[in-house]
Amino acid sequence: MLSGDVVGMWGVALSDGVYRIEFAHGTTTGKRVVYVNGQEVVRRDWMFKLVGREAFTVGRARTRACVNIEAVTGFSYEYSLEIDGKSLEKFRHDRAKVTTTWILKVDGEDFRVVLEKDTMDVWCNGQKMDTMGEFVDDGTETNFSVGDHECCIKATSGGRKKSGIVHYLLLDGETMPAL
């Protein structure tokens, strides 16, 4: 259970899901606790050094993460999160370049579909999907199913040098908006 000492909260979107990371820091007791989706993953009691780093992993791929604790003035502290050795902002920026995400409502159920553009892996609600890719006249198609529904991610040229390759998700032939 989360304590009243939570001083930092962050949301991290990975291919296998969105993770809520919370950090509790007891500045009088030296306690440090990291929670991922409400589950305690790191606990250190009676730390005499109140600044430093707490390393842990997130998600199925065990992505490296670290909470940094820095003294600002006197007894106030600043907390930041690093993912894969990058600030959370830089990680999110870089991730937006290599992934595309869609949120679908299928048969009354929510699905989060993520395409990893560098590997063409497709994830749906935390599961890596079995896909079949093929080359077509205007690019590529990556086919998979969500329940009884046919899905296809089309990759085509954006038509301009700056836009590069554009990815579309078709659910039963209808284009779905990306996040």
* Domain extent for 37: 6-84
Residue 9's pLDDT is: 97
Q: Over 80: is that where the pLDDT of 162 sits?
A: no
Residue 2's pLDDT is: 52
**Residue where a domain terminates, one of 84, 115, 148:** 84
Residue 28's pLDDT is: 81
Q: Is the dihedral of CA 93, 99, 105, 110 positive or negative?
A: negative
Residues 108 and 163 in one domain: yes
Residues 67 and 103 in one domain: no
Residues 38 and 64 in one domain: yes
Residue 13's pLDDT is: 96
Mean confidence (pLDDT) of the chain: 92
Q: Over 50: is that where the pLDDT of 1 sits?
A: no
User: What digits encode the pLDDT tens for the residues 75-119?
Assistant: 789 999 999 999 999 999 999 999 999 999 999 999 999 999 999
Q: How confident is the model at residue 47 (pLDDT cuts 50, 70, 90)?
A: confident
174: helix, strand or coil: strand
Residue partners of 83: CB distance under 8 A and separation at least 6: 12, 58, 63, 64, 65, 91
Question: What domain count does the chain have?
Answer: 2
